[in-house]
A = this chain, B = another copy of it.
Amino acid sequence: MSDATKARKAALRKKLIELAEAQIAAEGLSSLRARGLAKEAGCAVGAIYTHFTDLDALVLEVNGRTFRRLGSSVAASVAAAADQPPRDRLIAMSHAYLHFAAEHAFLWRALFDVEMSADGPVPQWYLDALGGLFSYIAAPLAELFPDMPEHELDLLTRALFSSVHGIVLLGLEKRISGVPLAQIEQMIAQVLSRVQ
């Protein structure tokens, strides 16, 4: 296969991922349609399936991008708060998580809405990305609780991540108990600053 052919192939693949991402970002995961995507990309529906085994695989690519951007976003907030006490770093990265979720609401939701339906194993990069987020939390916690056994520290890490995730999830869910961003920030700070 010539370089030009490979390039065209890769270009269509990239275009499909970008268009899918734009569609999800604009109108949500459930608005993604194979036919709509093909029309926008200027190709036939069947072409999608030469690049991805099914639409879920395509969404997984989009989620990969989203997860990496979320990771950088949180990492940047940690770096910016490097000279602050551990509890403030925890709050800073949680607020970064919140703002990412709020600014990219549909893309962020897609992270947790796709996997459930697919029944293949979770890809490794997914677990790695999650592990990365966990490690950002674990570091300040280890400073706060230097005597805590590793196992308990690991559990507390997961517990706090899940707590922040839950607060962001329900806080942004306007249909259930949606509240202003400032109040969600307050809730996160309330829970994290009470961790003694």
Contact = CB atoms under 8 A, between A and B. Distances in A.
A115 B175 contact: yes
B170 A188 contact: no
A48 interface: no
A176 interface: yes
Given A122-B175, A194-B194, A194-B196, A163 B158 contact: no
A179 B165 contact: no
A57 interface: no
Interface in A146-180: 152, 155-156, 158-167, 169-171, 173, 175-177, 179
Binding site secondary structure of chain A = helix
A105 to B, nearest CB: 12
Contacts of A84: none
A162 B187 CA distance: 10
A179 B158 contact: yes
A87 B108 CA distance: 33
Nearest to A171: B162
13 contacts: A122-B175, A130-B176, A152-B190, A155-B183, A155-B186, A156-B190, A159-B190, A162-B163, A163-B164, A163-B167, A165-B166, A166-B166, A166-B169
